[in-house]
Amino acid sequence: MDDFLKVTMNEYLPLRDVVFNTLRQAILKGELKPGERLMEIQLADRLGVSRTPVREAIRKLELEGLVVMIPRKGAEVASITETDLQDVLEVRRALEELAGSKACERITKEELAKLKEASSEFEKIIDTGDLTMIADADMHFHDIIYQATGNARLNQILNNIREQMYRYRMEYLKDYKRHAKLVKEHEKIISALKAGNQEKVRDAIIVHIDNQKKAIEKSLKD
């Protein structure tokens, strides 16, 4: 294990959650590679904790689909497959089309202002080169659209697949050349929402997600 795997203690979180967050970020950022085995004893030693919080963290990561249990081998980081990618992004595309359409009907001036602010903040954060911050800023932009739908059930469903979407978001963001394109796509979504044009909102969202799908599919084949 490299030096990247370090626990940052948080007095407000149980140790198992701190370990979980540490391993989760390492997987999402690609520091723990797809197919890499997660050995409890080695991880516990590296993190300076007992095996119990490591075991609990691995179970939670399995529930999120970030870890798989292999018979007679144990836990390993789940691979990103084209099928998984297609499944997740098909669901995301359908839900975000619906969210965009409903937000177009219901978004307030205050929410539009928040969306513009989130887009500007995203553009600033890109310059930091911090992938986690960039991904979180991108999520915040989309969260404002979700909230603008006024549909609690839709928000709940989107929240249920948040972690799976986050992994592919991180995968896409690893290529820094794509960031400028994301800014332009965000601007098109805002412009369509401001105009109250549902068809343009849906079109902008479809292009936004399909571009990510094509880019990740290409990277998986390379």
pTM of the model: 0.82
Which stretch of DSSP H or E encloses residue 197?
A: none
Percentage helix, strand, coil, to 5, in the chain? 75, 5, 25
Rounded to an integer, what distance in angstroms lies between the CA atom of residue 31 and that of residue 22?
Answer: 11
Q: What is the pLDDT of residue 195?
A: 97
Using CA atoms, how far residue 91 sits from 45, 67, 169, 176, in Å, is 39, 21, 14, 25
Burial 49-82 (b: 16+ CB within 10 A, else e): beeebbbbbbebbeebebbbeeeeeebbbbebee
Q: What is the pLDDT of residue 217?
A: 87
Tens digit of pLDDT at every position of the chain (222 positions): 445 676 666 667 888 899 998 999 888 888 898 999 999 999 999 999 999 999 999 999 998 889 999 998 899 999 888 888 889 899 999 999 999 999 999 999 999 999 999 999 999 999 999 988 999 999 999 999 999 999 999 999 999 888 788 888 888 998 899 999 999 999 999 999 999 999 999 999 999 999 999 998 888 877
Token digits of residue 49: 């904790």
